[in-house]
Amino acid sequence: MVLIKTAKEIKTIKEAGFILARIMRELENLAEPGATTEYLNRAAEALILKYGAQPAFKGYEGFPATLCTSVNTQVVHAVPSDYRLKPGDLLSLDLGLKHKGFYADMAVSKIVGADCLAEPDFEASRLIKVCRKALKLAVKKARPGNTFGDVGNTIQRFVEGQGFQVVRDLCGHGIGRKLHEEPKILNYGKRRTGETIKAGMVFCLEPMITAGDWRLKKGKDGFSFETRDGSLSAHFEHTIAVLEKGAEILTKI
């Protein structure tokens, strides 16, 4: 059952999303060559606590960290470590927090040290641009009267049209008083299938795409997912609320 949020609840989630977006911007700036992913994790937790919120991921189903730091072939859920970021790494940051009893969740991808590279990897740059635009198109499609199949189909058609693949084993999700609520939102599908989108729904759209095959394998840390063929991956995510006029992104400044 997909829970419909009140205007007051959406306002609180928007507050959480605003805090999260500010933190994510700071983390993006800190994600420079030489920084370890564990350093980013510690910074994320310190910033969340500074804003009076709580980490959403730490301890969730045993996950040991506050921030997910997926590098290159890692798609999602990578545990931070002593790995030092290198110029040209494709880094995906995924972070959630809890504020006044409600959750917000978002993810971004970037090329580490892009400004100091003579020529950033063309494929990595394209992958990031396509993934970011896929999310933008999905947000526009998340309107009352459309279906979740419409959203997934929009993502899939655009991504595959650009020569990349959509991950099938992972998906977006509802969010609110719980980090993961109904529905599960696939990044692929057929038009006019699935549940109809209604005003008051709040959920996370998060296209995860690969430069090669979309099939995944579990990483050595026991939590991460990696591309099976060793291809690059990108991930973007926003928490959005569906209003009568369309979708509003809650995780932005």
Task: Say if residues 95 and 44 touch (Cβ distance below 8 Å).
Answer: yes
Ranges of residues in the chain with a pLDDT under 70 are none
CATH 3.90.230.10 describes domain 7-249: yes
Looking at residue 117, what is its pLDDT? 79
Looking at residue 160, what is its pLDDT? 98
Looking at residue 220, what is its pLDDT? 96
Whether the predicted model's global pTM rises above the 0.95 cut: yes
Sketch the domain layout of the chain as residue ranges: 7-249
The runs of H, that is alpha helices, within the chain are: 7-30, 37-50, 122-141, 148-161
